[in-house]
Every structure is written in C-alpha cells, then in structure tokens.
Chains A and B, each alone.
Chain A
Amino acid sequence: MSFSKMPLVEANQTPDASSLSLDSERTLYPYVTGTSVVAFKYRDGILMAADMGGSYGSTLRYKTVERIKPIGKHSLLGASGEISDFQEILRYLDELILYDNMWDDGNSLGPKEVHNYLTRVMYNRRNKFNPLWNSLVLGGVKNGQKYLGMVSMIGVNFEDNHVATGFGNHLARPILRDEWNEDLSFEDGVKLLEKCMRVLLYRDRSAVNKLQIAKITEEGATLFPPYSLKTFWGFEAYKNPTVGAEGSW
C-alpha cells in the first residue's frame, strides 16, 4: 500500500471485533463522557466552547479534560461523549494531518475535508455496530471561508452557522437562534458563548464550572486558558426552602 493512503481505519486486513462476535470489544455504552459543546461562526472565524468535565456516570470525576483540540492549521475539533473515543479520533486525525504534511506541497486539508473524513469514519463504525460514541463539532477557516459542521455517532452530519451537542441543542441553540448574527465581534461572541454556557451550567447536571473557549481564524487556532463563570444563587425561592413544607422533613 502506498504511504499516501488513508490511515488504517477501514483496513479489513484483520477480522475485527464485531465479526468475531467478541462483544467485549464493541462499544456498547459510554463510560467517561463529556457534555455539551457550543460553537458558532463570528466575524473573523469560529468560536467554540466546552467545559472541562469528564463524568463517570453521574459522578463528576475528571475536571480538567480538554475537549477542544486544534487539527492541522485550519480546524478545531470539539467533542462530547466518550472521552476515550475522542482520544482515538485525535490519533486518527494526527495520522491524517501527518500524511497531509508529508506531501509537502502547497495543499493542505481544510475544515471541510476533515469534516467529511470524520463523517466517513463515524458512519463506517456505526455500520459495523461498533460506534465511536461522540458528537463532534468541526470548525475552521481556510482561504477566508468559514466552515462549521457537526457529526454524530451514527454518522449524521451537517453544516450550519451555529451548532451544539447534547444538552446544548436544547438549551443553547434557542439562544443562538435569537441572538446570533453573521458579524459578531470577538467580544460579543464570547459574551454570547458565556450566556449559553451559563445556562448549561445551571441546568445540565453533568456540567462543571470550568470552561475552555477556543477560536480559529485565518491566522490559526487559539485555545484560551480555562476559567469559571460567575453564578448567582441568591434567588428568593432558594432562601428558607423548608418554610411551608409539609411533612416531617
């Protein structure tokens, strides 16, 4: 096989787990999971945010999981779902980008190409009943063109001006539908992201208050240091919660 072929993701040289009926080697349920990722296009490129939590079922076990990573020169990948599968995907993409760089010609894989490659990978794994248990958000800028897309664990993919995974779809996207516009500045974009992430922090039980914001522009990717959002719990309804409660407790 010439070196220039895709990584051995779909190589059928060895019989794989599902064909050997080794259930222990197929993904049946996720174990360590990340929650929502929110992303949208803004004036200079793409803004993406995700918290740094890795839940082990209902336990908020890991609190410094980076769920957004830069891919090549032109893209950012954010993932929710099984963290180990995300790490596997990063390994595939690493190989892909390596081979792309080895060509050493003027061409490079842009966000559109990476998104489609990921779609192929996710869909093929789903067909083998051994999915990579992730919802992926792929954003990037190349030659002035902004690109933002999503791939789910069953291979559903689409592009849009703003995307979110998991709970983000229910809580963040309505906000974005109302308040997003084509020409957001960086500051306004971050404010909008924080608004979405704050709602998620209040309402999603698997969210942790430590989030990472990343941006990608024509110049390249920037991952900002993690920080926490200010929250407010001083509502009247939360004071003296037992007043007026019936029963012995």
Chain B
Amino acid sequence: MFRNQYDTDVTTWSPAGRLFQVEYAMEAVKQGSAAIGLRSRTHVVLACVNKANNELSSHQKKIFKVDDHIGVAIAGLTADGRVLSRYMRSECINHAFTYESPLPVGRLVVQLADKAQVCTQRSWKRPYGVGLLVAGLDESGAHLYYNCPSGNYFEYQAFAIGSRSQAAKTYLERRFEKFMDSSRDDLVKDALIAIRETLQGERLTSNICTVAVVGVGEPFHILDQNTVQQLIDAFEIVAEEEPPAAEAGDAADQETAAGEGAPAEEGAAPMDI
C-alpha cells in the first residue's frame, strides 16, 4: 500500500518501521536458485542447484572456496556473491599471514555482516542482493551460518535459501536432529536429497547440482561430477525399487527401507500429510 512511497532509497524508513530496500534485497535472494547447507559435529556440506540458462552456456558458479577451512554457497545476485567471496578470501588470507592461523569462521561472518550493514545505512549504496551460506571449521567445531542482505547472520544446523527452498527446508526440518551425529557420507546424501526436493519432480543429475564438503581433516573442496553422480545413483536406485511416490515426503522413507547400511537412516521419518 504505502510501500512505494518509502522504498526509493535504503535510508528511508517506512511508517511501520521497515526498510523496504533491504526487504527487496532479500527478495532477490529468494529468486536465486536454491542452495542448502547442513552440518554435523565434524563436517559441513553445501549443495546448490546449478542450472545453465541455455544448453550452450556453462552454469553459474555458486559455491566458492574461501580458505581451506571455509567455503560459501550463494543465492541471489551472483555478481554480488562473487565480490563478497573475494572479500572473504582476502580477510582469511590476511589473517593467516599475520597470525599463521586460520580465521575463525564465526569472526568472518561477523565481518561480513558488518559489511552488509554498512550498505543499509548509506544513501549512496544499495544492499548486497545475495544470501550466503557460510560453512566452516574453527576451534569449537563445524559451523554453518546464513548471512542476509540485511546484515543479520544466524547459525544453523541446516538451512536452505533460494527458489523452492521451502521444500528442502521441510525435508531438513524433519531430519535435522540427527545431523549432529551423522557421518560425512550421510550428510552428503541428505544434502543431495534436499536438493532434489527443490527440483519438484525433475530428475536429479550431477550436472545440475554442485556439492562441497569441509570437515575435520578434510579441507573445503567441491566434489567432482562423477563422485556426485555415483552418490545420486546409489540412492536413486534404491528409490526406484519402491513404487514411485508422487509426494516428496516418501523419498525419506524409501531410502530407509532399502537400508544402505547407514545407521543414521534408521526409523522412518514421520509423514506429515
């Protein structure tokens, strides 16, 4: 209603106490393609949907390695994401040079959040139009953070951002309590399944998704396509043994029924119809 009067620049409050430009920036994140993250005590997995605009082009890079112990997945204006990744890399490398020690991920996200906040309080700037899922390791273990264009940041056990992320979030909400003690491989599998949820029936293949892992003793790296395809095949075969179910909710039950021998899969997730 009154939105249009108070949304011209970021330094104008609305009568209801909102900054519309910041909220519009958060909309941009929702329009980007999905990115999800989840973590256990020792590992963090990031995964995202990577669809190319057309067959001729390559797809957008959405996961960036920031340091051996930190990586980031973005959703929204990928150009903004690239610039912020460069900033993060710069901060990490400066810290490592001065202190010969990795920058704790908790401090990096605060610096990132402060940087985003500046853009919400200068009339000649605009907020960054990108949401960042920051995955990293520090002294206190594995962490997953979400950095918002508003300058807020939160720590998560698991999270999904971007378009159709609600489907992934629903899946993650059902299973997140087990993540803390999950093995690395189970975490990757859960990430892929969560990504599949956002595809709404489209077939999940390794050329439309990217997966990255960081963990204790495992520096941040993006899994190569063949590995990802093998992992997908492993649980998709299992899924095809059962009669194909229309509801996304069945996917969780199907792999538990097949029993990949992974202890974390025990017990069917409650169906919420």
Contact = CB atoms under 8 A, between A and B. Distances in A.
B140 A109 contact: no
Nearest to B104: A107
Contacts of A116: 98-101
Interface in B151-168: none
A116 B102 CA distance: 12
Interface string A102-143: 010111011011011100100000000000000000000001
A248 B273 CA distance: 115
A224 B116 CA distance: 49
A229 interface: no
B107 interface: yes
A116 B99 CA distance: 5
A70 to B, nearest CB: 19
Task: State the main secondary structure of chain A at its contact with B.
Answer: loop
Interface string A1-13: 0101010000000
19 contacts: A2-B111, A4-B107, A4-B111, A6-B98, A105-B104, A105-B107, A106-B106, A106-B139, A106-B140, A107-B106, A107-B138, A107-B140, A110-B101, A112-B99, A113-B100, A117-B99, A120-B97, A120-B98, A143-B139
Contacts of A105: 104, 106-107
Interface of B: 97-101, 104, 106-107, 110-111, 114, 138-140
Nearest to B103: A107
Interface of A: 2, 4, 6, 103, 105-107, 109-110, 112-113, 115-117, 120, 143
Contacts of A6: 98
Nearest to B141: A106
A199 B138 CA distance: 45
A116 B96 CA distance: 9
A107 B140 CA distance: 8
A113 B104 contact: no
A103 B98 contact: no
Most buried by A among B106, B111, B138, B139: B139
A190 B99 CA distance: 31
Given A107-B104, A109-B99, A113-B100, 11 more contacts: A2-B111, A2-B114, A4-B107, A6-B98, A106-B140, A107-B138, A112-B99, A113-B99, A113-B101, A117-B98, A143-B139
B66 to A, nearest CB: 17
Contacts of A143: 139
Nearest to A121: B98
A120 B111 CA distance: 22
Contacts of B139: 106-107, 143
Nearest to B105: A107
B122 to A, nearest CB: 15
Contacts of A112: 99-101
A208 to B, nearest CB: 35
A107 B98 contact: no
A8 to B, nearest CB: 14
Q: Quick one: which of B97, B100, B107, B110 has the most chain A CB within 10 A?
A: B100
B112 to A, nearest CB: 11
A6 B98 CA distance: 9
A214 to B, nearest CB: 23
A106 B100 CA distance: 19
Contacts of A2: 111, 114
Contacts of B111: 2, 4
B54 to A, nearest CB: 42
A102 B84 CA distance: 24
A116 B101 CA distance: 9
A107 B107 contact: yes
A103 B107 contact: yes
A11 B114 CA distance: 21
A117 to B, nearest CB: 6
A4 B115 CA distance: 12
Contacts of B99: 109, 112-113, 116-117
B87 to A, nearest CB: 12
B90 to A, nearest CB: 12
Nearest to B99: A113
- In the A-B complex, the 8 residue pairs with the smallest Cβ-Cβ separation, listed nearest first, are A113-B99, A116-B100, A107-B104, A106-B140, A113-B101, A105-B106, A116-B99, A120-B98
Contacts of B138: 106-107
Nearest to A4: B111
A120 B97 CA distance: 9
A89 B114 CA distance: 29
Nearest to A115: B100
Contacts of A109: 99
Contacts of A110: 101
B106 to A, nearest CB: 5
B219 to A, nearest CB: 19
Interface centre among B98, B99, B106, B139, by most A CB within 10 Å?
B99
